[in-house]
Chains A and B, each alone.
Chain A
């Protein structure tokens, strides 16, 4: 099995997901009280930054099974967009609104993009 020098996509991806999970737990732990949104905003911003770093690092890889990556990523994206839609539906249905809803929606968007990247990367790295 050949191991190529690849960026730490999995590690960055899991850290990015951990940040939005932490933000979600912070917001959920204080419901229905209004809490300062800054900690959750900072966690989300850090998570988005890691997603951007991951995409940038991945785009700079020269020798990579891009066809396979995109083939897997598109189907995984479809599946996770459906799952993210269900979670978002439950949140909206519960009457969440304002800044909390915006943060949670963006967090779900990060989840729906980052998980397919992790799946597609893990598959493509062994091609």
Chain B
């Protein structure tokens, strides 16, 4: 395992030369996490085949809560903190956090949605005759927006930042641009997650 450096051209304006910042080596996709993700997907398939209430509720609630908390935490807690961190600290945090998110987020989202749909079918809440159907459709719309932001903006920015940091001489301007996109999108998804909390608690209370 070798460490690389990120050169920050304007980090030290008096020196006239780029400042090298050590960057720890990392895996873009942490291989150790793949069996865990595969096991979770296997559990999802089993729960869908069994079509029993408890496993579906468990998967939907646990992974849905994880999705909401992660989005709120990244958007409203970690995002503002990261913006105030020094460049070396930000790079260190990015190389340790982003690879994990690359596995965690698609897993959490897929399990929440697939288990949720199956649960809705089992309980009849996805039927148009359900008395809170308007709220259910509202949840589809919010989740659709969340998925668009996650798939179209966050996931590509996440992978691109990691690929840039993997280079022998990463470009700090590229990292900064992509991280801004990542953090702005995370903030917006955090706001949408508040809407999901409102909708889901309304549906649950009947």
Chain B residues within 8 Å of A25, by CB: 137, 140-141, 144
Which B161-197 residues have a C-beta within 8 angstroms of A? 163-164, 171, 173-174, 177-178
Contact of B128 with A18 in the complex, beta carbons under 8 Å = no
Chain A residues within 8 Å of B29, by CB: 75
Residue A90 at the chain B interface, CB threshold 8 Å? yes
Which A24-75 residues have a C-beta within 8 angstroms of B? 24-25, 28-33, 68, 72, 75
How extensive is the interface on chain B, given as a class? 35 or more
| Size of A's binding interface in residues, CB under 8 A | 37
Report A28 CB to chain B, min CB distance, Å. Answer: 6
Which one, B48, B141, B155, contacts A115 given CB within 8 A? B155
Chain B residues within 8 Å of A123, by CB: 156, 159-160, 163
Contact of A29 with B163 in the complex, beta carbons under 8 Å = no
Binary contact readout A66-106 vs B (1 if CB under 8 angstroms, 0 otherwise): 00100010011001001100110110011000000000000
Contact of A126 with B174 in the complex, beta carbons under 8 Å = yes
Report B151 CB to chain A, min CB distance, Å. Answer: 5
Which B102-129 residues have a C-beta within 8 angstroms of A? 106, 110, 113-114, 117-118, 121, 126-128
Contact of A122 with B156 in the complex, beta carbons under 8 Å = yes
Binary contact readout B41-63 vs A (1 if CB under 8 angstroms, 0 otherwise): 10011001101000000000000
